[in-house]
Amino acid sequence: MTERLPLRLSELHLYSVVVSVKTRWLFLVGRSIDGLTGFGEVTLHNQDAAIVDATRELPAVITHATLQMLQQRLPLPIGHVLASALEQVWLDIQGQEQNVSTRRLVGIQPRSKILCYANINRGTIDRTPNSFATRAEEALAIGFSAVKIAPFDEVLTQASNQHARSDAINLGMIRVEAVMRVSGDHAVQVDCHSRFVLKEANQVIARLGQLGVRWIEEPVVETAETISKLKVLRATANRHGALLAGAEKLSGLDQFQSFIDAGAYDVIMPDIRFCGGFAEAIRIATYAQLHGTQVSPHNPCGPVMAIVSAQMAACLPSLHSLELQHAESPLFNKLLSTSHQLTLGHYELTEESGHGITLSAQFNEYAQEKFAHIFR
């Protein structure tokens, strides 16, 4: 990675875009003293106020020590998410200064084409089996080779009632079956959102495998106590032809090492917001490659994060694919201007400097400025 000089800011702005009842995207926009603009995304569910408060305290000069201070002093995960967004701004501006793309700034022989899969969960509002199937058909029709759903989200709300849990699990299976019927030879991926205890998870994984699901994600809560149990669940998934994936909330190579060394997952899912930044993501992926583990960045956020995550994915060894939100909101394609293209389920990255994005003419119609700091 190219050595970074301190980033000297003249302005820093935080914008919020309301996407749905559930989702708000938060964008960090910084302008350097040389007049270059950099973008980062600091989206974090239900943490807008905390992010705004933390942003008010940011200094005009950004160094590695600034990022470390945010990670160490602010509560998890706010410090990591804000440090990540600030690093994104920094890399965007540095790439423009050096006239190179973000991926070439941080990676060695990075890719220009990234395989993506479509996360259709948030884009399926009423969550009926038919609606999931319709959304899957739409994604596959435009070239995605895999779709992901989270069919078991109601299970947690029925935690104390075993009959209700069973009903919720069965409803989830019906949703999966509906998507499987329209998927043909394409892969169906299921995110369990940590809804199950061990015995239950093993049964659910077996049932999903029998349906032909090829990727099963985060079946149980990830703790030091469940690492060894995940290896058992991975074996069940593998027996039925499925990969087990997870580790989206982990931070730093040390945390990832524990899961990789234990053989917990076939695929780890570092999220640029949490994992510790671009350099740390590359370290994590390099370690994973040495141990036969694939990498697929977690990317459930807005359009800035999508392109930043694609730039990161381009640098990672042992890359499986990149997650991409599909059809959550038409705003996804209205807020930014870029020459990067999503074609037949692949991000095709150009050689534009930095992230290769600017704000569209429509941005101000939808974005509310939450904070602005003009540095003297």
Report whether pLDDT(157) > 70: no
pLDDT for the residue 206: 98
- pTM of the predicted structure, to 2 decimals: 0.97
CA dist list (Å): 177 to 156, 188, 236, 317: 21, 10, 20, 33
pLDDT for the residue 2: 63
Report whether pLDDT(1) > 70: no
Report whether pLDDT(285) > 80: yes
pLDDT for the residue 309: 98
pLDDT for the residue 161: 84
Percent residues over pLDDT 90 in the chain = 95
Cα 245 to Cα 219: distance, rounded to the nearest angstrom = 9
Cβ neighbours of residue 77 closer than 8 Å, sequence gap 6 or more: 44, 249, 251, 273, 274
Cβ neighbours of residue 332 closer than 8 Å, sequence gap 6 or more: 302, 303, 306, 325
Domains (range + CATH), the chain: 7-101+358-374 (3.30.390.10), 105-355 (3.20.20.120)
Where residue 347 falls among pLDDT bands split at 50, 70, 90?
Answer: very high
Cα 349 to Cα 57: distance, rounded to the nearest angstrom = 34
Number of other CB atoms surrounding residue 145 within 10 Å: 17
Average pLDDT over residues 128-140: 98
Residues 178-232: tens digit of each pLDDT: 999 999 999 999 999 999 999 999 999 999 999 999 999 999 999 999 999 999 9
**DSSP 3-state assignment of 251?**
coil
Report whether pLDDT(44) > 70: yes
CA dist list (Å): 22 to 123, 146, 166: 11, 24, 26
Angle, vertex CA 336, rays to CA 330 and CA 337, nearest 5 = 120
Report whether pLDDT(376) > 90: no
Report whether pLDDT(159) > 90: no
Structure tokens at 213: 């699901």
Backbone angles phi, psi at 272, to 5 degrees: -60, -25
Q: Which residue has the tokens 């053989």?
A: 263
Q: DSSP secondary structure string, 26-60?
A: EEEEEEETTS-EEEEE---TT-HHHHHHHHHT--S
Report whether pLDDT(271) > 70: yes
Where residue 162 falls among pLDDT bands split at 50, 70, 90?
Answer: confident
The sign one gets for the Cα dihedral 349, 20, 331, 328 is positive
Q: Which residue has the tokens 């090829």?
A: 214
pLDDT for the residue 158: 59
pLDDT for the residue 21: 86
**Residue 179: alpha-carbon gap to chain centroid:** 22
Which letter, b or e, does each residue of 116-129 get, where b requires 16 or more Cβ atoms within 10 Å of its Cβ? bbbbbbbbbeebeb
Among 218, 295, 275, 302, which Cα is nearest to 44's? 302
Where residue 96 falls among pLDDT bands split at 50, 70, 90?
Answer: very high
Q: What is the mean pLDDT of the chain?
A: 96
Q: Which residue has the tokens 């701004």?
A: 89
Higher-scoring residue by pLDDT: 376, 302: 302
Cα 152 to Cα 150: distance, rounded to the nearest angstrom = 6
Task: Give, as one character, the DSSP assignment of residue 325.
Answer: E
Cβ neighbours of residue 176 closer than 8 Å, sequence gap 6 or more: 149, 151, 188, 190, 208, 211, 213
